[in-house]
A and B are shown apart, each in its own frame.
Chain A
Amino acid sequence: MKLNRLIKYSYPAFVYLFLYFPILIIVVFSFNDTSRSLVWKGFTTQWYTELFRDTNLLSVTGHSLIIGVLAATIATAIGTIAAVSLFRYRFWGKKLLHGLLFVMIVTPEIVMGIALLLLYSALDLPLGFWSLLLAHITLCIPFVTITVYSRITTLDKAIFEAARDLGATDFTIFSKIIIPLLSPSIIAGWLLSFTLSLDDVITSYFVSGPSFSILPLKVYAMVRLGIKPEINALCTLLLILTLLIVISAQFALYKNSGKKHAKK
């Protein structure tokens, strides 16, 4: 009996330790009072003040957030539409398209990066904001589509037929039935895209230009030449930001489902 309990509690404990311990270290070390050491030397908030004085780092972070939000939003819109059309309509090449989405997910990013770079130089698209945004949208679409599609297949097709019987137009079905039912997976897809965009190094390296640099590239370069505690501070702030987004998303979903139950 006792052993059972031990296993019961130690198993999740290990999982959490494994997942969150590295993150915890970064938070702790963002308060370490030394600029080049990895040994604890005392508490300071100096790195946070320094972070807010580092205009370059801040502007690069701003760039990344803009790209992340835009890419996630556009990719979520396109990906959701793609998932819905894969589910609802029959068209030529449907199976192929579905298969190709998986190919996009498993394609090594370096291939993607070079392919996009070649495409952009063939189109004479200057490397910068637009090339990055387009590349990130491309990266994110398959992830959104797969996330949304896996949810949509659990829906009962009879709902749509019933709606049609009652005189609903395609648009009404889409906006009043499909979207609300899919909202958890759409939000999940958005968050997934946002994260993907925020930490993409390889593709971004190829398609970024001099006028618009983004955070993952900067962090990568900084870490290679010695970790500065400023980076730890920045990571901590980003962690808090993502936590806030996830919590508010959960909260919105919870409220949403609460309403539905109330209506019943």
Chain B
Amino acid sequence: MLKNKLAKKFLVLSLLYLSFVFLSPAVLAQANILNVYVWTAYLPQDVVKQFRKETGIRVNISEYDSNETMYAKIKASPDAGYDIIFPSNYFIHRMRKQNMLHVIDKDKLPNLQYINPNLLRKPFDPNNEFSIPYLCSITGIVVNTDYLDSKNITSWQDLWQERFHDKLLVLDDMREVFSIALLTLGYSINDTNPDHIKEAYLKLKTLLPNVKIFNSDVEQNIYIDEDAIVGMGWNGDINLSLAENPKLKFIYPKEGFVMSIDCLAITKNAPHLENAYKFINFLMRPDIAKKISQEIGYPSPNLAAIKLLPKEMQDNPLLNPSSELLKRGQLQDATDEVLPLYEKYWEKLKIGE
């Protein structure tokens, strides 16, 4: 018994000792590293490798699957040591309000000049004090031209056509789905008027007979495998899916659409500030931004990078939407006050009530 006790004590003590000696925050902070917390497969490995080659900074990558996952992690352990995160616009708004982000010193980011001014100074961060656009995503209509003529489909309203009975893929995302109803009714996607939201719910109820599946996890697979031939989709996903199924067509709906800007931000307690600035500036360098947009498939906010793209990609509205198109895009706000109402109606929709 004595021996066991001693052995246990020894083990625990030695572990504690090691942890304090080798991994104290002070030691961690000195190392030439950078901790990046990023969406899965949203940062090409070549880019990280090149950054290391040019600067000697080692980048630790951790990945998340949703804004919520990232937010919870940073909220639960603000001192965990993450330097750079990639929140979407409405999460920038929320995290900024909760004092979770570091104020960006723009003097350290000369490459900011390349960013499309149309995508800066948006309401979620009016002076871009906390965020720099990384990639844009747009929700539109996907049509498989093998089965359907895409000419008659130009607006969200067209999804209500009777011929689409039990055919649509609808994203399993509350805000996205309500947005299409609000847009067809002529309201803003950020409308907080309860009557309008109810109207949107009633409108969506009439869409239910057309819905084949709610899915936002493997939407690409479903379109590629033609399990659904029409519905909602994200431009970047469809852009990459074209390689596997060239019959897919992405349509920017007439009424407007949800646009989201995934941003770069520095956490409040980032331990490697200098490296973080170097990294953000590096990602905004035109040749790097071009590589990212090409590989990830989403439009780059970097004007100089777009000019570097091959001609056919510059003409591809999925990768390079024109500024007129971008003007029709609406950014989601964090409309926290009406979320419970949304959720109530969303549940009713999902159970088909």
Contact = CB atoms under 8 A, between A and B. Distances in A.
Interface of A: 34-39, 54-56, 74, 78, 81, 84-85, 89, 91, 114, 117, 121, 124-130, 133-134, 170-171, 205-206, 208-213, 217-218, 220-228
A126 B1 contact: no
A36 B79 contact: no
Contacts of B8: 78, 81
A131 to B, nearest CB: 8
Contacts of B40: 218, 221-222, 224-225
Contacts of A78: 8, 11
A81 B62 CA distance: 36
Interface string B251-269: 0000000000000000000
A209 B81 contact: yes
B45 interface: yes
Given A36-B241, A81-B4, A224-B65, A211 B33 contact: yes
Interface in B74-112: 76-77, 79-83
Given A211-B28, A224-B65, A126 B81 contact: yes
B194 to A, nearest CB: 32
B65 A221 contact: yes
Given A206-B76, A224-B217, A226-B218, 9 more contacts: A81-B4, A121-B77, A121-B79, A125-B19, A210-B35, A210-B62, A213-B62, A222-B63, A225-B39
A226 B63 contact: no
Contacts of A227: 218, 221
B80 A221 contact: no
A220 B79 contact: no
A220 B69 CA distance: 11
Contacts of B305: none
A56 B45 contact: yes
B61 interface: yes
Contacts of A56: 45, 61
B87 to A, nearest CB: 15
A221 B62 CA distance: 10
B45 A126 contact: no
Interface in B133-190: none
A38 B221 contact: yes
B80 A210 contact: yes
A228 to B, nearest CB: 8
B24 interface: yes
Chain B: number of interface residues, binned into ranges: 35 or more
B300 interface: no
5 contacts: A37-B224, A114-B76, A125-B19, A126-B23, A221-B40
A134 B64 CA distance: 23
A206 B74 CA distance: 10
A17 to B, nearest CB: 25
B225 A224 contact: no
Given A126-B28, A222-B41, A210 B60 contact: yes
A250 to B, nearest CB: 29
A210 B28 CA distance: 11
A226 B241 CA distance: 12
Contacts of B82: 210
B313 interface: no
Nearest to B226: A39
A129 B61 CA distance: 14
Interface string B1-40: 1011001100100010011000111001000010111011
Residue of B63, B83, B241 contacting most chain A CB atoms (<10 Å)? B63
A126 B221 CA distance: 40
Contact of B220 (A36, A121, A130): A36
B309 interface: no
Interface string B216-236: 011111001100000000000
Nearest to A124: B25
A213 B244 contact: no
A231 to B, nearest CB: 11
A124 B35 CA distance: 19
Contact of B19 (A54, A91, A130): A130
A217 B4 contact: no
